[in-house]
Structure 1
């Protein structure tokens, strides 16, 4: 099922947006590979079936809505206190939420077919904008699934480290998203 032409609202009520991190360094066995969910985000997708190059995506996430959902690996299971500490560290030391409350994305080009396409655009994190390309596609029901890799240091983000740098988050983080089908009834007009 292909999406309907028109403008569609997307966000945390129509899909999921996740950030996946991994560990590196000599002390990586002590840490966790994290799955972090963005619980408040929104955007608009404009679909032009007749001319896909005229389609576009604009999205914004609220950085203080990041919630640690899963921690894999590590010497001990991730606790609720660990989750709270990680969230505080992300907000205060890594992404400086008070000064930079939102991360935004604005597409500049969409290419490919409905079932395998790329969305290239400008990603702004902490006031710094760089291009990024998302790889995506439609499933049989019309849902949209995709992912991209963000190299944190490109945006001036210093990946978390502990134990004198023996445990570090990898510089690359994976962004994944799953959207409900963009249908005629979801079109905004």
Structure 2
């Protein structure tokens, strides 16, 4: 995977960050699988002349900036009221008042021919835990990073409704796609 050296900065102006949640439970058919956009985030990657294996990466995510973009499945399509309620529940579940941001700091980068794995520490909900981020080249100037965040590993109880008959699965898929600026 070829990538230029130097300091790279990404944010909503040259990329997008999406969270994908899935539902489970006895009445899961009434709920929705969600695509939630993070609208306030930044990533900084410093790649030395020696190449990506020596790179460092940091990220900052404002958890109050979650916006529901899509809901699939469910008994009825998502309304604007539903979206607003889901966003409010997400802020409550994440306890944004006490833990407004999530951060990531890399510890190691392992590169392959067409991919890289960035290992580091994600701090979320006041808990720091190791996580791996997979990075792949989409086009020569576009890259996609993916990981799975297990909410319970960070002390977060996944959202549930109807006395637990509808739940959000513990694993949340995170996708970041960025474009290198010329």
Regarding TM over 0.5, the answer is yes
User: Over residues 80-121 of structure 1, what are the superposed CA-to-partner deviations in whole Å (9 max), with x where a residue is unaligned?
Assistant: 0001001111112x0111111111011111102362110111
- Corresponding residue number in structure 1 for 2:79: 79
Matched, 1:161 2:167: no
Q: So what's the TM-score if we normalise by structure 1?
A: 0.92
Between the aligned partners of 1:103 and 1:56, the Cα distance in structure 2 is 17
CA–CA separation in structure 1 for the residues paired with 2:146 and 2:117 = 10
Partner of 1:101: 100
Distance change >3 Å, CA 19–CA 174, structure 1 → 2: same
Kindly indicate whether residue 11 of structure 2 is the aligned counterpart of residue 3 of structure 1. Answer: no
- Indicate conservation of the 8 Å contact 1:115/1:139, yes or no: no
Q: Is contact 1:2-1:142 (8 Å) kept?
A: no
Give the structure-2-normalised TM-score: 0.95
Contact 2:3 2:52 in 1 (8 A): no
Give the conservation status (yes or no) of the 8 Å contact 2:9–2:42. yes
Alignment of 1:1-189 (within 5 A): 2-48=2-48, 50-92=50-92, 94-113=93-112, 115-181=114-180, 185=182
1:43 to partner: Cα distance: 2.2
Q: How many residues align?
A: 182
CA distance in 2, matches of 1:5, 1:114: 17
Q: Which runs of at least 4 in structure 1 moved beyond 4 Å after TM superposition?
A: none
Which structure has more relative contact order (CA 8 Å, sep 6+)? It is 1
| Contact 1:114 1:138 survives alignment (8 Å) | no
| Equivalent residues of 2:17, 2:174 under 8 A apart | yes
Gaps of 5+ in 1: none
Cα deviation per residue 1:19-66 (whole Å; 9 max; x = unaligned)?
000001111001000000000101211113524221011010111100
Contact 1:25–1:165 (CA under 8 A) maintained in structure 2: yes
SS in 2 for 1:86: helix
Q: How far apart, in 1, do the equivalents of 2:8 and 2:174 lie?
A: 21
Unaligned runs of 5+ in 2: none
